[in-house]
Chains A and B, each alone.
Chain A
Amino acid sequence: QSALTQPASVSGSPGQSITISCTGTSSDIGTFNYVSWYQQHPGKAPKLMIYEVSDRPSGVSNRFSGSKSGNTASLTISGLQAEDEGDYYCSSKTSSFTHVFGTGTKVTVL
């Protein structure tokens, strides 16, 4: 199972919106709505930000939103803030009942 494809880096100024893409195949993102997004700060464990494509866990800011079209999922961060800097990973359940993560995207707030 190959990793899902994400851009290596995305940047934006405070207050702007950015979108991170996550491209898979018809064997993962294209078939299942079990797409999740994680935020990871240096030296910390990942934190779930979005699950099932577009649902937010309790306590996650509504500045984070998710969507999916075909084999590609997206995470949008609106009203970018300094605390949003970090690494972001998508993941999806696969047709083999396994899971696969994305390659990761480093978000920089300019």
Chain B
Amino acid sequence: QVQLVESGGGVVQPGRSLRLSCAASRFTFSSFAMHWVRQAPGKGLEWVADISFDGSNKYYADSVKDRFTISRDNSKNTLYLQMNSLRAEDTALYYCARDRYTYGLVGGDYWGQGTLVTVSS
């Protein structure tokens, strides 16, 4: 069964940075696009970013563009989200999710359990 395990969340002050990781196992990581999706406490889902199977294509939500960077290391089966200039409104549970395809078309067919990021002074 596909496994995705996020890590790196925590409490951070506004304006600081944080890097999230998502360790993938039990599937061929290098063959699938990946997504980051977040959910603020008590709120709905918000798509954050996706990356193609080989890292050549990356797309971002307007709310995080120029602050967040998605990347992947296929040799380590790991997805990353570098988050800079964090704001209070970035507080959320961050999920990584696997797409069904090599490019981000469908969204997540498998999801991790999420890692919580809290931005607060």
Which residues of A come within 8 Å of B, CB atoms?
1, 3, 34, 36, 38, 40, 45-48, 51-52, 57, 87, 89, 91, 93, 96-104
Contact = CB atoms under 8 A, between A and B. Distances in A.
B100 interface: yes
Contacts of B113: 45
A48 to B, nearest CB: 5
Interface residues of B, number: 26
A101 B46 contact: yes
20 contacts: A1-B61, A40-B45, A45-B95, A45-B114, A47-B111, A48-B107, A48-B108, A51-B106, A52-B106, A87-B44, A89-B44, A89-B45, A91-B47, A98-B47, A98-B60, A99-B35, A99-B47, A99-B104, A101-B46, A104-B45
Contacts of A1: 61-62
